[in-house]
Amino acid sequence: MQTDHSLGELAVRFGLTLRGNPDLRVSRVATLTGAGAGALSFLANSRYRRQLEGARATAVVLSEEDADACPVAALIGANPYLAYARIAALLHPRPLVEPGVHPSAIIGARVRVPDSSSVAALAILEEDVEIGERVSIGPGCVLMRGARIGADSHLVARVTVHPRVCIGERCIVHPGAVIGSDGFGFARDGAAWIKVAQQGGVRIGDDVEIGANTTIDRGAIDDTVIADGVKLDNQIQVAHNVTIGAHTAIAACTGISGSTTIGERCMIGGMVGFAGHLTIADDVAVTGFTLVSASIRESGSYSSGIPAEHTPAWRRTVAQLRRLGRTRRPDGA
């Protein structure tokens, strides 16, 4: 679905400075190199300024310092990517889902679906599930007994939500996500393992996004907690009793072991591994492919990933590293 807006209207609405004809209209977003008439592009990083040269978009959102290089209408702001995000949301709103319950959906006892909400084909809402206003439950989702979904949240498709899981408002959960599965808890009994009952739940705040095939385990006793505004990419694993602070964003394939607490506003790269029972401060950045095996007490950036080199050179590096490990200092340390 696309709508159509004049540059003048966009400038006023989003507090941008317009250089160009305010009556020009845009209806869609496009890349700088792919745009044509009616398209809006953006330049968020001056490094790519040269892409402006051939720009044929109707307008480009960019910063003051790049504006002179722009051959078409410019919408100028201090944070062009943010302005672009807002305009793109206006031009490309989430497709409206017709409210109502598909006849093939399975609705359990004591479930009330508000008239403003939708339940798609073959979704399952077991008994006592609670659904807020304007919620959209996509095809094939399974909401187990008593799960709660806050207003305006959208489960895209094939999402599994267990009992004792509460999802806040305006959340988006992508296909294949599993929320509230048993934590990995076992007690040793000789050679064998005895399952430890996983009795907690999962509490997810407002404005949280959860990626495709991401898994979030319920707590062992207390709850696993995902605070407001957290963004989780695809294939992330969140173990039992993890807490993730507000507005923290985590890239794909990262795993967080049990009972670790991550602070607010952290930015965690992809394929990062967190050991269990750690405390990570607020405003911590962790670059991709890093092992976090101890608590981090102060904000800053942390890393342990080694960039690739040619395999023969790398083999020599590893050999020297091994040798290094066998070295003892003169003082015996």
Task: Output 132 or 200, the one with its CB closest to a copy of itself.
Answer: 200
Tokens of 256: 């967080």
Structural contact between residues 168 and 153, judged by C-beta atoms closer than 8 angstroms? yes
Number of residues that bind a copy of itself (CB under 8 A): 118
Least distance (Å) between residue 62 CB and a copy of itself: 14
Residue 199 near a copy of itself by CB under 8 A: yes
Task: Output 13 or 22, the one with its CB closest to a copy of itself.
Answer: 13
Residue 82 near a copy of itself by CB under 8 A: yes
Of 67, 72, 252, 281, the one binding a copy of itself (CB under 8 A) is 252
Residue 327 near a copy of itself by CB under 8 A: yes
Q: Which residues, 127 to 186, sit near a copy of itself by CB under 8 A?
A: 138-140, 142, 144, 156-158, 160, 172, 174-176, 178, 181-182, 184, 186
Q: Which residues, 35 to 54, sit near a copy of itself by CB under 8 A?
A: none
Of 50, 112, 195, 297, the one binding a copy of itself (CB under 8 A) is 195
Q: What is the DSSP letter of 50?
A: G
The H or E element spanning position 291 is strand 291-292
Q: E strands of 72-131, at which residues?
A: 73-76, 100-101, 106-107, 118-119, 124-125, 130-131
Report which of 212, 127, 206, 193 is spatially closest to residue 166, judged by C-alpha positions: 206
Residue 209 near a copy of itself by CB under 8 A: yes
Question: Applying CB under 8 A, which part among 6-14, 15-23, 70-78, 83-91 lies near a copy of itself?
Answer: 83-91
Residues 6+ apart with CB under 8 A from 302: 284, 285, 286, 287, 290, 292, 296
Least distance (Å) between residue 239 CB and a copy of itself: 7
Question: Applying CB under 8 A, which part among 3-11, 13-21, 65-73, 78-86 lies near a copy of itself?
Answer: 78-86
CA 55 to chain centroid, in Å, comes to 31
Question: Applying CB under 8 A, which part among 10-18, 63-71, 127-135, 303-311 lies near a copy of itself?
Answer: 303-311
* Range list of H helices, 64-196: 64-67, 80-91
Residue 313 near a copy of itself by CB under 8 A: yes
Distance CA 238, CA 296 (A): 18
Q: Which residues, 7 to 36, sit near a copy of itself by CB under 8 A?
A: 28-31, 34
Considering 154, 174, 240, 247, which one is annotated as catalytic?
240
Least distance (Å) between residue 132 CB and a copy of itself: 19
Burial label for 164, CB within 10 Å (0-12, 13-18, 19+), is: buried
Question: Applying CB under 8 A, which part among 14-22, 49-57, 62-70, 292-300 lies near a copy of itself?
Answer: 292-300
Residue 275 near a copy of itself by CB under 8 A: yes
73-76 vs 17-19, strand pairing mode: antiparallel
Distance CA 333, CA 331 (A): 6
Collapsing DSSP to helix, strand or coil, 270 comes out as coil
Site mask for a copy of itself (CB under 8 A), range 226-245, x = bound = ---x-x-xxx-x-x------
Residues 6+ apart with CB under 8 A from 292: 272, 273, 274, 275, 278, 280, 286, 302
Least distance (Å) between residue 164 CB and a copy of itself: 11
- Is 162 considered catalytic here? no
Distance CA 314, CA 73 (A): 50
Q: Which position has the token pair 């977003």?
A: 29
Active site residues: 240
